[in-house]
């Protein structure tokens, strides 16, 4: 069992923390509740923070040229400036942060699916995009793990988010040390995880650690972090995970029965069809690591990239699209 540091995560306060939804509700959200034991949450409701109260009249994103305006139709108030100002002050007040989990469809907190209207009253939806608060978050933290609760109902997206979140947290602690030995160990223990993400980038990061130009440690760690951000910029392809799983399988294939090999092939097929999560495949591989006492593989974070208590899957994998 790995020991995990607690990520620091900004979360929309209406999910599990307070009855501050526009209609006065508090949303029961299982993913937030499950994460609570493993992360340090910073709850925030931007709409309440700018003085809108609970319950409150609805607000909308309205398209205006190249920008979106945050409008309250009933009062005709334009809240764009005050929301942007609050967001920037909020960001400035963060000492450090590892990730964000925000409310879907919200005109303030929506990540990709906030409705943007042609006009504030009785007009069609032109497109969807980020809420006003989230837009400022994305500008300040373009590489941090950031999702909404709707997309996290898809286990492929959820696994990537959890993996990215706990990876960012681990690296933050390693970076604080500025010790090359810590960075070497970090890179070695994440070899197979990074291999699944991008083998070319993984090798580039290895050369950064080698530091043949004798750069200052601060520069080495910063350059390495840039590579780490690129690794996790997009979810890993299923085919890349399958290739890594087959690579690990090669350690044991000569010692397994025909039935075990067929079962593993069946699991890979189910994963390829998105019928089971990656964790189901990794569980079997990890059991063989223990069975054949492969200490090298047992040190790999690939087999437990986040706390195993978060693995429980209750969806089909066919949730919100990977967009």
How is residue 313 written in tokens? 């899957």
Helix, coil or strand: residue 15: strand
What is the C-alpha to C-alpha distance for residues 155 and 101, in angstroms, rounded to an integer? Answer: 15
Alpha-carbon dihedral 60, 64, 66, 67, rounded to 10 degrees: -40
Same domain as 229, residue 134: no
| Domain identity same for 110 and 168 | no
pLDDT of 108 strictly over 50? yes
Query: Does 65 fall in a domain?
Result: yes
Residues 70, 106 within the same domain:
yes
Inter-residue contact 170 to 307 (CB < 8 Å): no
CB-CB neighbours of 7 under 10 Å: 24
Q: What pLDDT score does 147 carry?
A: 98
Task: Please check whether residue 93 is in contact with residue 10, taking contact to mean a CB–CB distance below 8 angstroms.
Answer: no
Tell me what pLDDT residue 65 has.
84
Q: Are 192 and 310 in contact (CB under 8 A)?
A: no
Over residues 221-234, mean pLDDT: 96
Is the preceding peptide bond at 147 cis, omega within 30 degrees of 0? Answer: no
Residue 2 lies in a domain: no
Q: Is the pLDDT of residue 229 over 80?
A: yes
pLDDT in tens, 47-84: 999 999 999 999 999 999 889 999 999 999 999 999 99
pLDDT at 231 over 90: yes
Q: Kindly report, residue by residue over 167-198, the tens digit of the pLDDT.
A: 999 999 999 999 999 999 999 999 999 999 99
pLDDT of residue 317: 46
In this structure, are strands 77-78 and 8-12 parallel, antiparallel, or unpaired?
unpaired
Look up the domain containing 186 and give its range. 154-323
Sign of CA dihedral 52, 27, 167, 250: negative
Give the pLDDT confidence score for residue 290 in this predicted structure. Answer: 96
Q: Can you give the length of the chain in residues?
A: 323
Reported as a pLDDT band with limits 50, 70 and 90, residue 314 is low
The pTM of this model reads 0.92
Residues 227 and 174 in one domain: yes
Of 129, 149, 169, the residue at which a domain comes to its end is 149
Give me the phi and psi of 204, to 5 degrees please: -60, -40
Residue 139 lies in a domain: yes
Per-residue pLDDT, 323: 34
| 55 upstream amide cis, omega within 30 of 0 | yes
Can you give the pLDDT at residue 316? Answer: 43
Instruction: Look at the block and give the residue holding tokens 């067929």.
Output: 262
Distance CA 248, CA 282 (A): 10
- Among 106, 133, 149, the domain-final residue is 149
Are residue 66 and residue 89 in the same domain, yes or no?
yes
Averaged pLDDT of the chain: 94
Count of the separate structural domains present in the chain: 2
In terms of domains, do 144 and 231 share one? no
Instruction: Give the C-alpha separation, 106 to 39, whole Å.
Output: 23
What CA–CA distance (Å, rounded) separates 142 from 6? 21
Q: How would you list the strands of the sheet with 77-78, edge to edge?
A: 77-78, 67-72, 60-64, 114-117, 125-129
Residue whose tokens read 């990709």 = 112
Domain boundary among 105, 127, 149: 149
pLDDT in tens, 284-306: 999 999 999 999 999 999 999 99
pLDDT at 1: 72
Assess whether 164 and 307 both reside in one domain: yes
Residue 204 lies in a domain: yes
Whether residue 37 sits in one domain with residue 169: no
In a domain, 50, yes or no: yes
User: Are residues 121 and 205 part of one domain?
Assistant: no
| Token pair 């699209």 in the structure block, residue | 321
Same domain? For 168 and 276 the reply is yes
Flag whether 14 is in a domain. Answer: yes
134 and 15 share one domain: yes
Cα–Cα distance for residue pair 161/101, rounded to 1 Å: 10
One domain for residues 95 and 81: yes
């Amino acid at each position: 069992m790995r020991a995990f540091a607690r990520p620091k995560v900004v979360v929309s306060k209406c999910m599990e923390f307070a009855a501050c939804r526009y209609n006065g509700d508090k949303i029961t959200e299982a993913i937030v509740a499950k994460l609570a034991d493993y992360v340090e949450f910073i709850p925030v409701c931007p709409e309440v923070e700018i003085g809108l109260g609970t319950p409150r009249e609805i607000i909308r994103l309205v398209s205006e040229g190249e920008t979106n305006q945050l409008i309250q139709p009933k009062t005709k108030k334009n809240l764009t400036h005050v929301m942007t100002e609050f967001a920037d002050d909020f960001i400035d007040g963060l000492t450090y942060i590892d990730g964000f989990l925000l409310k879907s469809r919200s005109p303030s907190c929506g990540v990709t699916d906030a409705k943007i209207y042609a006009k504030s009253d009785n007009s069609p939806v032109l497109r969807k995009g980020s809420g006003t608060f989230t837009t400022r978050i994305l500008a300040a933290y373009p590489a941090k793990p950031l999702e909404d609760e709707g997309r996290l109902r898809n286990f492929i997206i959820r696994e990537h988010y959890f993996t990215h979140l706990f990876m960012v947290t681990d690296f933050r602690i390693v970076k604080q040390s500025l010790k090359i030995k810590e960075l070497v160990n970090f890179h070695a223990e994440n070899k197979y995880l990074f291999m699944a993400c991008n083998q070319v980038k993984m090798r580039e990061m290895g050369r950064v650690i080698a530091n043949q130009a004798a750069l200052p440690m601060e520069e080495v760690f910063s350059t390495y972090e840039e590579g780490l951000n690129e690794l996790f910029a997009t979810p890993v392809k299923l085919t890349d995970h399958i290739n890594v799983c087959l690579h690990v399988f090669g350690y044991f294939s000569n010692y397994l029965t025909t039935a075990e090999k067929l079962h593993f092939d069946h699991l890979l097929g189910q994963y390829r069809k998105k019928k089971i999560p990656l964790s189901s495949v990794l569980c079997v591989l990890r059991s063989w690591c223990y069975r054949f006492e492969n200490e090298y593989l047992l040190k790999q974070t690939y087999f437990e990239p986040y706390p195993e208590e978060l693995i429980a899957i209750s969806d089909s994998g066919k949730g919100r699209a990977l967009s």
